Amino acid sequence: MIVMFFIESCSPKPEPEPEPATKVKSRKPDWVGGKNMDNDHWFGIGSLAVGDSVSPKTIAIESIQKQIYHQIKKNINNEFDIRDTVLESICDRAISTRIDIIKTLTKEVENYTDGKKKYILLSLNKKIYSESLEKRLEELNIEETLSRIEGPPGKENFLLLSEAIQMIVGFIDFIIKKELQSKNSNSKMINKVKYILNDYNDRVLFTFDPRYLNSVPISNDQQELTIRVVDKVNHMRLDSIDVYMEYGGVYDSQNWISDSTNDFSVLLPNVVSKTSYVLTIGVDYKKILKGNYLDLFSVKQNFSNVTIIPRNIKIYSTESISTLGTGLEYSAIYDSIKRCFENNYGAEFVDNNQQAELLMNIEVATKENMRRESRKQPFKSEAFFILSLEYRQTGNSLFSQVIAKTEALDYDFVERASIRALKDLSSSAIHSICQ
């Protein structure tokens, strides 16, 4: 027993079994040259020189992210008509919200080293990826956020709207899929946001002092312009609305925030070399919504323009208004326009167009509903008085705007409605110009 014990104890101990190593093939696998995604997985391949500090796994994950990015882009393009720059910003936002999920769910399939380069093959299961994102989307409860938006376009409502839009954009491809399957259009989040945005876009109104700018938004340079932001529905001043102003590329743009207790004033900069410019004023939706997302919700932004002209500018009136019965140059309308431009802008009206810097054109347009569903529905006619200015030498448009509008109804004849609308238009134009 002693001998046996001695032999047992002196026998060499077996070496511990090595830990399982990552599988490395001696032969170059086919996937090194590229592997396309299939119905169930996305694949990403990363390769780097041996000894490089960056992991090939990082490159492989980025490859999978690019494939998902292009899939998001394709899904949006199938449902929306959006400019490329806006589309890219939406896709950037969407991919950024799911990078952590992509990294967590991506699995290593295989790796390979040929002595000079390291290769790795990763895969992402599409079904598991989709289920994870759908679960996160449900947890966000975007509907609850939208339900809290009520009342005028104020700071708190815009904050809630921005929060909801950020979440929608982050999961836009999944929301598109979900809403395509829904038959109830009232339950669709995109439609709800579209309605709110369009409503607020129509309600935000910029009013000016001097007051005559509200009918004919033309001003001289070096004049003080006061701007008030109001709700078109309740006529209350709006607080904390981000506003941008652009000077037609002549001067740097400007941003400010509305204050319900204090209107914003600016001294209009000089025109350069007798060349006029247009001041554009609008809500800075890109800042409010933290992205350029109006196109996604089919919103065409409203803005206000003020045309800035130098004093003592020479104007020639190009034609008369035969529609209103008498020549424009002899009408009360012409006298009203002339007084407006002479008194407010220091303009000079000349008899020869070769002496003029600007050409003035007056246009009267009508719009009728020629068809009606029944005799209980009246014919409707709308008449518009349009004032336009253009540079004489270049023919480029400087100003064109409807400064008066009337409408009339008649249950028997559309022509009778048109005559009434035109008769009222003359009086409306006189009372609108520079009032």
Residue-wise pLDDT tens digits, 340-352: 899 888 899 998 9
The residue ranking higher by pLDDT, 101 or 379, is: 101
Shared domain check, 107 and 197: no
Q: What gap in Å lies between CA 188 and CA 179, rounded to an integer?
A: 6
Residue 280 lies in a domain: no
**Is 322's pLDDT higher than 80?**
no
To the nearest whole percent, how much of the chain has pLDDT over 70?
89
What torsion do the CA atoms of 265, 269, 274, 279 make, to the nearest 10 degrees?
A: -60
Shared domain check, 41 and 96: yes
Shared domain check, 196 and 89: no
Residue 224 lies in a domain: no
Residue where one domain finishes, among candidates 202, 231, 258 = 202
Report how many domains make up the chain.
3
**Is 168's pLDDT higher than 60?**
yes
Shared domain check, 166 and 105: no
**Is 190's pLDDT higher than 70?**
yes
Q: Are 369 and 414 in contact (CB under 8 A)?
A: yes
The residue ranking higher by pLDDT, 17 or 139, is: 139
Question: Averaging pLDDT over each range in 15-19, 231-235, 370-374, which range is the top one?
Answer: 231-235
Q: What gap in Å lies between CA 434 and CA 389, rounded to an integer?
A: 16
Shared domain check, 376 and 352: yes
Using DSSP's 3-state secondary structure scheme, residue 117 falls into strand
**What token pair was written down for 256?**
């400010």
Q: 297 pLDDT band (50/70/90 cuts)?
A: very high
What pLDDT score does 329 carry?
Answer: 46
Question: How far from chain centre, in Å, is Cα 79?
Answer: 17
Residue 233 lies in a domain: no
Domain containing residue 394 = 311-435
Q: What is the pTM of this model?
A: 0.80
Residue 291 lies in a domain: no
- For 276-293, how does the pLDDT look when each residue is reduced to its tens digit (9 = 90+)? 999 999 999 999 999 999
Shared domain check, 148 and 94: no
Q: Are 313 and 406 in contact (CB under 8 A)?
A: no
Q: Are 120 and 50 in contact (CB under 8 A)?
A: no
- For 123-140, how does the pLDDT look when each residue is reduced to its tens digit (9 = 90+)? 999 999 999 999 999 999
Residue where one domain finishes, among candidates 97, 130, 163 = 130
Residue 239 lies in a domain: no
- For 408, counting Cβ atoms within 10 Å of its Cβ (0-12 exposed, 13-18 middle, 19+ buried), the class is buried
Residue where one domain finishes, among candidates 98, 130, 162 = 130
The residue ranking higher by pLDDT, 351 or 373, is: 351
CA atoms within 13 A on the CB side of 177: 12
Residue tagged 């349009």 (tokens):
386
CA neighbor of 281 nearest in space, from 254, 308, 300, 299: 254
Average pLDDT over residues 21-33: 68
What pLDDT score does 183 carry?
Answer: 64
Residue 292 lies in a domain: no
- Where do the DSSP E strands lie in 197-338? 204-209, 218-220, 224-231, 242-246, 254-257, 264-267, 277-283, 303-309, 314-317
- For 327-337, how does the pLDDT look when each residue is reduced to its tens digit (9 = 90+)? 444 477 778 88
Using DSSP's 3-state secondary structure scheme, residue 352 falls into coil
**Is 390's pLDDT higher than 80?**
yes
What pLDDT score does 284 carry?
Answer: 97
**Is 3's pLDDT higher than 50?**
no
Shared domain check, 99 and 184: no
Residue 222 zone, left/alpha/beta (φ > 0; ψ -120 to 50; rest): left
Shared domain check, 185 and 115: no
Residue 64 lies in a domain: yes
Shared domain check, 137 and 124: no
What pLDDT score does 185 carry?
Answer: 54
**Is 259's pLDDT higher than 90?**
yes
Shared domain check, 115 and 165: no
Shared domain check, 140 and 126: no
**Is 14's pLDDT higher than 60?**
no
Average pLDDT over residues 385-391: 91
What pLDDT score does 6 carry?
Answer: 40
Residue 126 lies in a domain: yes
**Is 8's pLDDT higher than 60?**
no
Shared domain check, 434 and 317: yes
**Is 234's pLDDT higher than 70?**
yes
**Is 269's pLDDT higher than 90?**
yes
Question: How far from chain centre, in Å, is Cα 315?
Answer: 37
Q: Are 106 and 120 in contact (CB under 8 A)?
A: no
